[in-house]
Structure 1
Amino acid sequence: MRSLGRWRLRPWHLFPTPTGAPFTFAYAAVLAVTSLIAAYADPALVHALHQGSSTDVAHLVRAPVLVLLASALWVAGGILAPYTLCFLFVLTALERRIGGPRTAVVFLLGHVLATLATEGPVGFAVLAGHLPDSSLHRLDYGISFGVAASLGALTGLLRPWLRWPVLVLFGGMLIQDLLNLTDPLTNWGHLIALAIGLGMWPVVRRWYREQG
């Protein structure tokens, strides 16, 4: 009962603050700016920025570090996309438990590894002649892989009564998206990123103990 009272008195802990979750707060501010640019700037400019930030095979071959970082500065679907709210809750909760730098590591690992795991096979398929050259060029940007990995890692720090429902709901949603075949590459990337986060349970639990 006492823990419930504490939660009611401090609901702002669900959201990032400059002192409580500085990494998430600063990152959210950057995403707010880029989302405003995407919403109100000239469409041709926005398309050029998105294209230049895309982690398709062509860009990954030419400038891998640049596009892997730049692609994480945009929210696919805009600031009101579901992953935006998930980003705020998940990264805030994770940062309050393991700290900002380590949260950034989890996010980047999911973002980078899931991107390479999905785009790499496309490149090899084109080389083998199984896909056309046009497959090397597509718009691929956003924060969702990093968020999925962060959620997977966070569940390792939650109590079982909350951990398993969260995993079942989120994992079920990702599987349903994959079965719908709306964007198979991205859908596989979400599942891979979640698996990366789950695989980090031993690491984040150790970080949590060190943080405490």
Structure 2
Amino acid sequence: MRTLSRLSRVRITLGYAALLVAVSVALVELGPRVRARVIAQSSTNLHNLAHGHLGTLLGSAFITDAGPMYFWLPCLVCLLALAELIWRSGRLAVVFVTGHIGATLLVACGLTAAIKLHWLPLSISRASDVGVSYGAVAVLGALTAAIPSRWRPAWIGWWVPVGLAAAALGEDFTDVGHTVALILGLLVSTQLTGPAHWTRVRYALLAVSSMFGFLMLAHGTWSMAGAAAAGAVGALMAELVARSRETRRQPAPTTLVPEPALNG
């Protein structure tokens, strides 16, 4: 009963993971042609959105064309479980959906403008864009609210430069989408309660989630190197600024004036 009670606290995470596995297995069983067709029809690309296929905004979150599931799915479960333990199921769902749909629509607007200005070819309007990454990165950004106040400047100072560097060095429009999702998560974090109560298990989940988030943002050799360097500089600068402000807020030490000696 205790195990079931603990699992019920992360029911959204477990249910979502189960659906991802079920859909992935079904698409493998149906064969590569059917799988390619389903991905094309479920993609949130400009072609589908322009033809009114708005259901792809949600359906695309349950289909993935990423690498081996046995690697990234446990990491995704750690990230979502941590957020669900901290905020409970409803807020996790709101953050994930906000990041997934919000980043998708903002990227679509950017791609539309780029195509009209002839910065990108028209063929990109049919590019595949499915998966969990936008929502997952938004959840990572929203974890800012749960970080202890002492470490929050360094946390923000790390992730914002990492996202910007990854977007600048990336070779795909989804890299920009990940950064947009991260910023949306940071904005949502201002409406969430925090900091959270941290335990050893939650710290372990945070470590795995951070590694997973970095790999989602920066997944190329140059992108990873540039993002790591930018994040390190950003975290250091944010920490120095935070300490400087804290020092200024501290009251100046009072000087004790000795009492005059009594004569006689």
TM tier relative to shorter chain: 0.7 to 0.9
Between the aligned partners of 1:163 and 1:85, the Cα distance in structure 2 is 26
Is 1:26 aligned with 2:15? yes
Selected match of 2:138 from 149, 154, 164: 149
Matches within 5 A, 1:36-51: 36-51=25-40
1:68-120 Cα deviation digits (max 9, x unpaired) = 111100233141354x3332112111111222121111001001111111121
Q: Deviating runs (4+, > 6 A) in structure 1?
A: none
- For 2:209, the equivalent position in structure 1 comes to none
Larger Cα-atom Rg = 2
- 3-state DSSP of counterpart to 1:205: coil
CA RMSD in angstroms, aligned pairs only: 3.0
CA contact (8 A) 2:9 2:88 kept: no
Number of aligned residue pairs? 194
Identity of aligned residues (%): 27
**Aligned positions of 1:86-101 closer than 5 A:** 86-101=75-90
Instruction: State the match for 2:176 in structure 1.
Output: 188
- Residues 104-146 of structure 1, C-alpha deviation per residue, up to 9 Å, x if partnerless? 1100100111111112121233344544332211101111010
CA displacement at 1:34 relative to structure 2: 1.8
Matches within 5 A, 1:45-60: 45-60=34-49
Gaps of 5+ in 2: 197-264
- The answer to whether the 8 Å contact 1:110/1:150 transfers is yes
Instruction: Identify which of 69, 80, 85 aligns with 2:70.
Output: 80
Q: Which runs of 5+ in 1 are unaligned?
A: 1-11
Provide the TM-score with structure 2 as the length reference.
0.64
Q: What is the aligned partner in structure 1 of residue 60 from structure 2?
A: 71
Q: Secondary structure at the match of 1:203?
A: coil
CA contact (8 A) 2:60 2:131 kept: yes
1:5 match = none
Deviation string, structure 1 residues 145-199 (Cα, Å, up to 9, x no partner): 100110111131122566566656655654454344331x111111111111111
Give the Cα separation in 1 of the matches to 2:155 and 2:77.
Answer: 16
Structure 1 length normalisation: TM-score?
Answer: 0.78
The answer for the alignment partner of 1:9 in structure 2 is none
| Distance in 1 between residues matched to 2:130 and 2:71, nearest whole Å | 14
Give the partner amino acid of 1:113. Answer: G
Cα distance between partner residues in 2 of 1:171 and 1:85: 25
Checking the alignment, whether the CA contact within 8 Å between 1:18 and 1:26 is kept in structure 2 is no
Residue 69 of structure 2 aligns with an amino acid whose one-letter code is I
